[in-house]
Structure 1
Amino acid sequence: MFEKSDMATKEADTAKAAWSCRVCLNNEVDVTIVPCGHVLCRRCSSAVSRCPFCRIQVSRIMRIFRP
């Protein structure tokens, strides 16, 4: 019984981590950088002119929505 509960908790934590901003590790991702497609939160995106992951010049920031 406890194994299923632990497994469900682990899966929920994994899903939440997948949507966490990799820059601040605090907020959920909600924007993507054009042209590279990397994702981060709006707050972190407002402070960059280059992608923090691949260093490509940001031409546009697009809002994304979770399914």
Structure 2
Amino acid sequence: MDKFVKFYNPEKRKFISLRKIAKRADGEAKLVLPTRFSGDRVYIWMGFISVEGTAVSTTLYVGEVGLG
């Protein structure tokens, strides 16, 4: 299973997608977004993709966060 996270920045009208973020055993992940997003708010969704890429989970809306 591969994880994915999608970010939407309404001010910039841009989506960013990240995959292969971290393993469960890592216990945490550090996500790096473009510096031009600094000071903006982004909306976040996450989900899972099968190793073969043939099955995708329903995405989960994680919330909105301000970037400092």
With structure 1 as the length reference, what TM-score do the two structures score?
0.30
**Bigger Rg over Cα:** 1
Of Structure 1 and Structure 2, which has the larger fraction of its residues in strand? Answer: 2
Of Structure 1 and Structure 2, which has the larger fraction of its residues in helix? Answer: 1
With structure 2 as the length reference, what TM-score do the two structures score?
0.30
The structure with higher relative contact order (CA 8 Å, sep 6+) is 2
